[in-house]
Amino acid sequence: MNVAHRWLCNSNRWRDVVKQYVIPWTLEGLDLGADVLEVGPGYGAATTELAGRVKHLTCVEIHCGMADRLRRQTDEGKVTVLCEDATHSSLPADSFDAAVCFTMLHHIPSPALQDRLLAEVLRVLRPGGVFAGTDSKESRFFRFLHLFDTLTVVNPETFAARLTAAGFEDAQVDVNPYAFRFRGKKPGIRTQGPGVTPQPA
């Protein structure tokens, strides 16, 4: 990320936006369950808020420096931070009740790798598990912010079809003036980990 982008993503202002607007809108009406995966947490703007909502949170971050920083800032008993490529992770299949990502899909270098991430998330979700997230809509400011950065814009008009092609059911995309949210479900009846009361799908 360029200097301006790093400053924004690591700012208290962005953390407030994520806490007050991004997370509530993205997760509206969803039961995440107990064991949740966050893909691409970056500087962790959403991580602390998520950790307060679930029994255990696992974060997969490709940049080891950011992963180490996030690991130092979180409760090791509540949050596990891994430095791995989320398109091809070491996580076992059927491990999580839900997976989330916030404004990170456009940092993946190509549509093909984005689709590989969708397939990998599907693999590690338990049957009935939900994948939910958000990303930014294209704009001049969005492109300026990513000058000299990796930027693969996600088209919200086609993303539901991409989720379906990856194997998700009930794919849904909603758009506001600045961003879009998405969600899809892994086929099957939702169950959760040992000692956790099963929740309806």
pLDDT of res. 198: 38
Cα–Cα distance between 88 and 56 in angstroms, integer?
21
Q: Which residue has the tokens 């950790």?
A: 51
Buried b (16+ CB within 10 A) or exposed e, 7-36: ebbbeeebbeebeeebbeebbeeeebbbbb
Which pTM does this prediction carry? 0.88
pLDDT of res. 200: 41
Question: 57 in the Ramachandran plot: left (φ > 0), alpha (ψ -120 to 50) or beta?
Answer: beta
CA angle 103, 66, 33 (to 5 degrees): 55
pLDDT of res. 150: 75
Q: Domain 3-185: give its CATH code.
A: 3.40.50.150
pLDDT along the chain (201 residues), means of 10: 58 83 95 97 93 96 95 92 96 98 94 98 98 87 66 94 98 96 94 44 38
